[in-house]
């Protein structure tokens, strides 16, 4: 689902205690690998227990830490 720049709002609306998918894809525009740690989506996913698994051009793939 493409939410056109509202990725952080959509992610924040999830009940992470109830719904914990193994993999989450989110669009991150304008962030190189060097600057991802400053991106709000990246940081939010880290607080939910997810690590960056891979990055495509505009898509980050986060994997649930085990």
pLDDT, tens only, 26-65: 999 877 888 888 999 999 999 999 999 999 988 999 999 9
**pLDDT recorded at residue 20:** 96
**pLDDT recorded at residue 53:** 96
**pLDDT recorded at residue 17:** 94
In whole angstroms, give the CA distance from residue 18 to residue 15. 6
Nearest to 46 by CA among 65, 30, 27, 31: 65
**pLDDT recorded at residue 39:** 93
Domain positions in the chain: 7-64
Q: Are 25 and 45 in contact (CB under 8 A)?
A: no
**pLDDT recorded at residue 66:** 79
């Amino acid at each position: 689902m493409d939410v056109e720049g509202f990725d952080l709002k959509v992610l924040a609306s999830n009940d992470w205690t109830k719904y914990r998918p193994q993999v989450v894809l989110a669009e991150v525009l304008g962030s190189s690998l060097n600057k991802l740690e400053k991106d709000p989506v990246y940081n939010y996913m880290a607080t939910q227990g997810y690590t960056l698994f891979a990055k495509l051009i505009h898509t980050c793939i986060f994997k649930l830490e085990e």
